[in-house]
Copies of this chain bind each other. A is one copy, B any other.
Amino acid sequence: MVRVIDELAHRVEEQGISLAGVHNCAHLGILAPYLETITAQQLVGVILTTSEALVHPFGGRERMLGTNPIGIGVPAAPNPLVVDLATSVVSMGKVLDHLERGLDLEAGWAVDADGNPTTDPLAATVGALSPFGGPKGYALGLAIEALVATLTGTALGKAVGGTLDTNMPVSKGDLVLLIQPRILAGTDSFDQVSDYLSNVRSSQPRYATEPVRVPGDGTRHRRARFLEKGLDIDDALWDQLLDCSTTQIHSLRGTLHEEPYRRMRDPR
């Protein structure tokens, strides 16, 4: 993906716009870091990606759609606007995290194998995730599924494999679009967007004690806190990571043994 972005960033300076359809690429994890790479070059970026079917249609119960995130990055100061959102309410990773921690899911996150809403994480793992925002999130996820498959020649719905079971070949696709605003809009300035985001932050909040936030504000806050105080990692996951670090993922070893991200308890 880094190579794709580098190539697109090179081409976009001449053409103003460049698009890559990617297949046979492993799970991208979160899109935000890639979008930050793009906005750091004063470019606008959009990334769409599909994944194994986990989400039921609005009005349905079967897993027919991936969590199909949409990522949009627009340069701004002091921080770019980076939006990275799955079209499901939550990721299956969050469900599994709740399962391991013994926590209930929130209402509306998932349905069980019979299509009934559930807050039991175990029931959700054999059921399906719910689309965010009802019919609109479903429509958006479906459009991303069709758009990505059409433009990358990759699979759709239940035919997508390899993002949950990493022993399977990956048959999902990714779309990466870069745009050079200087060429399209004739300006290098992102002051207008920066001012706007600042106005949104200082607009009247719903509750006086909770200022309005812009997407990314919470993540930046958590990142700063984690860098200072360390990460809260579930025991089983921590053991798995340590195990990986001595067996498969050698590049992790140094980091984990030096423990720059110390574990912390009750960080919330």
Asked if A196 and B149 make an inter-chain contact with CB atoms under 8 angstroms apart, the answer reads yes
Q: How far is the CB of A155 from chain B (nearest CB, A)?
A: 8
**Those of A203-244 within 8 Å (CB) of chain B:** 203-207, 210-215
Stretch of A91-99, A177-185, A247-255 with 4 or more beta carbons under 8 angstroms from chain B: A177-185
Inter-chain contacts of A145 with B (CB < 8 A): 196
A147: CB under 8 A from chain B?
yes
Inter-chain contacts of A150 with B (CB < 8 A): 44, 74-75, 181, 185, 190, 192-193
Inter-chain contacts of A60 with B (CB < 8 A): 200, 203-206, 212
The residue among A74, A135, A152 with the most chain B CB atoms within 10 A of its own CB is A74
Q: How far is the CB of A121 from chain B (nearest CB, A)?
A: 21
Taking CB as reference atom, which chain B residue is nearest A215?
B139
> With contacts A61-B205, A136-B85, A212-B57 known, is A187 near B153, CB below 8 A?
yes
Given the complex of chains A and B, what is the CA–CA distance between A43 and B212 in angstroms? Answer: 40
Given the complex of chains A and B, what is the CA–CA distance between A85 and B211 in angstroms? Answer: 28
A31: CB under 8 A from chain B?
no
Asked if A204 and B19 make an inter-chain contact with CB atoms under 8 angstroms apart, the answer reads no
> With contacts A44-B150, A74-B143, A205-B59 known, is A185 near B133, CB below 8 A?
no
Q: How far is the CB of A80 from chain B (nearest CB, A)?
A: 9
**Those of A1-43 within 8 Å (CB) of chain B:** 16-17, 19, 21
Asked if B149 and A192 make an inter-chain contact with CB atoms under 8 angstroms apart, the answer reads yes
A156: CB under 8 A from chain B?
yes
Asked if B152 and A72 make an inter-chain contact with CB atoms under 8 angstroms apart, the answer reads no
Given the complex of chains A and B, what is the CA–CA distance between A15 and B236 in angstroms? Answer: 51
Inter-chain contacts of A65 with B (CB < 8 A): 200
Inter-chain contacts of A138 with B (CB < 8 A): 215
Inter-chain contacts of A133 with B (CB < 8 A): 132-134, 136-137
A200: which of B76, B132, B142 is its contact (CB, 8 Å)? B142
A64: CB under 8 A from chain B?
yes
A199: CB under 8 A from chain B?
yes
Binary B-proximity of A142-180 (CB < 8 A = 1, otherwise 0): 111111011111001110000000000000000000010
A124: CB under 8 A from chain B?
no
Taking CB as reference atom, which chain B residue is nearest A70?
B140
Taking CB as reference atom, which chain B residue is nearest A20?
B184
Asked if B181 and A146 make an inter-chain contact with CB atoms under 8 angstroms apart, the answer reads no
Asked if A64 and B17 make an inter-chain contact with CB atoms under 8 angstroms apart, the answer reads no
Given the complex of chains A and B, what is the CA–CA distance between A47 and B17 in angstroms? Answer: 16
Asked if A64 and B143 make an inter-chain contact with CB atoms under 8 angstroms apart, the answer reads no
